[in-house]
Amino acid sequence: MSNPYRDIFRAPGALAFSSAGFIARLPASMVTLGIVTMLSERRGDYGVAGAVAATFALASALITPQVSRLVDRYGQRRVLLPAAGAGALALGGLMLATRAGGPNWLLFGFALLSGLMPTIGAMVRARWTEFYRGTPQLRTAYAFESVVDEIIFIIGPIIAIGFSVGLFPEAGPLAAVIFLVVGVPLLCAQRRTEPPVRARSAEIERSVVRLGGMQVVVLAMIAIGAIFGTAEISAVAFAEAQGQKGMASLALAVYAAGSLIVGLVFGTLRLKASLAAQFAAALALAAATTLPLLAVSGLASLAAVFFLAGAAVSPTIIIAMGLVERLVPARQLTEGMTWAITGIGIGMALGASAAGALIDLLGARGGFWVSVSAGFVGLLITLVGYRRLQGEPEPAAICEPG
């Protein structure tokens, strides 16, 4: 029997750009935690550490879609190298300022500039789309990238925290910088798989986030990110209340495993329903799987429910990327994918913040209410905006990047 995941790598250059993209994407899971660990280790102050990390996260959410717009306009190689270089220099400045005991305003300034680091996941998905646009293999490729995201968010935090605690406080962010400055040039060196730059018109000067269908996707992704973002803080609080704080990592590993396993299976399916219908069904499943969180009684039941909740994550993201590919003009694909990924990041930040507040107010189970609320808000947004998800972009002319 043919293996669909092996088949997608038969395309010339696929393995090379995917491997380079893996290295370049590791910082996405390392920088925020690396900043928190670095500053808390060096200064013993979680308040400033969290605020600086939040500044980076917010700056990234605002800046990276604009970087991706430039990528669509000028090509990956021309934009990624200077953007990654500027982001790496800014993060290096943050490390030096931390080590030298610099003032807080300097830390916040460098964190803001570090938001220039590009969203590599969107760049890799754009390359897969050029290979397999309009074919069943595209879903498999998106599923593979969803699994890669899960692996990155398992490995990255371990490196970031482990290095900063075990070596020296700046070691975690430093490792992220090294991955960035090695991975991005490796990706840009894969010229034959770089998506072509498509001819512009006056209309495309508007951001794709103004498209009604994209707004629905991004808002739904914020809700999914909020569900995902509450998992870590809620798991730690619940495990601590059970007197087994160290077991939180096991529950979170099961959460990631659920997403990874179901994502692999989902990528092989050839469903006949429209992407809009699949997206609505995925959001309904995501909302439904949050309800059992309110009934967990111990760590074993928490792990079981986390597996179910994780199982809804990958299919939703895979379908969302398929929708973006259908909804936005091909010449603005990278920007569209970046907005979807950014939505997840915004949701994770909002979800973690809200969960922390409710845990302080209601106890260890308080965070679960954020997951439930986010799930049903995401479903409502999808149902209300369902007709907008069925839009189709117009074709675009192609001109090769020079």
**pLDDT tens, position by position, 191-213:** 888 888 765 554 446 777 777 78
13-198 with 206-392: one CATH topology?
A: yes
Q: What pLDDT shows up at residue 205?
A: 60
Residue 130 has pLDDT above 70, yes or no: yes
Q: Which CATH superfamily groups domain 13-198?
A: MFS general substrate transporter like domains (1.20.1250.20)
Q: Is 16 exposed, middle or buried (0-12, 13-18, 19+ CB in 10 A)?
A: middle
pLDDT over 70 percentage in the chain: 91
- Of the listed ranges 211-220, 282-291, 376-385, 387-396, the least confidently predicted one is 387-396
**Residue 262 vs residue 50, higher pLDDT:** 262
Of the listed ranges 144-158, 179-193, 269-283, the least confidently predicted one is: 144-158
Q: What is the pLDDT of residue 245?
A: 59
Asked whether the beta carbons of 351 and 226 are under 8 A apart, the reply is yes
Report the pLDDT value the prediction gives residue 396, as an integer from 0 to 100. 46
DSSP secondary structure code for residue 204 in this structure: G
- Asked whether residue 292 carries a pLDDT value surpassing 80, the answer given is yes
- Structure confidence at residue 296 (pLDDT): 82
Within 8 A by CB and 6+ apart from 50, the residues are: 36
Name the pLDDT band for 168 (thresholds 50, 70, 90). Answer: confident
Listed in sequence order, the residues at least 6 apart from 160 whose beta carbon sits closer than 8 Å to its beta carbon are: 29, 30, 31, 33, 34, 37, 172, 173, 175, 176
- Please give the single-letter amino acid code of residue 8: I
pLDDT tops 70 at residue 150? yes
Q: What's the average model confidence in pLDDT over 25-47?
A: 77
Alpha-carbon span 375 to 213, nearest angstrom: 19
Which residues neighbour 137 within 8 Å (Cβ) at sequence distance 6 or greater? 4, 7, 8, 131
Q: How confident is the model at residue 165 (pLDDT cuts 50, 70, 90)?
A: confident
- Kindly report, residue by residue over 238-250, the tens digit of the pLDDT: 777 777 756 666 7
| Predicted local distance difference test score (pLDDT) of residue 395 | 47
Fold of 206-392: Growth Hormone; Chain: A; (1.20.1250)
Concatenate the DSSP letters of all residues of 329-392 into one string. Answer: -GGGHHHHHHHHHHHHHHHHHHHHHHHHHHHHHH-TTHHHHHHHHHHHHHHHHHHHTGGGGG--
DSSP designation for 30: T
Q: What are phi and psi of 399, to 5 degrees?
A: -135, 135
Q: What is the pLDDT of residues 308-329, one digit of tens each?
A: 888 888 888 888 888 887 887 7
Instruction: Give the dihedral sign, CA 62/66/72/77.
Output: negative
Domain definitions of the chain by residue range: 13-198, 206-392
Q: How far apart are CA 186 and CA 282, in angstroms?
A: 35
Q: Quick one: pLDDT band at residue 1, thresholds 50, 70, 90?
A: low
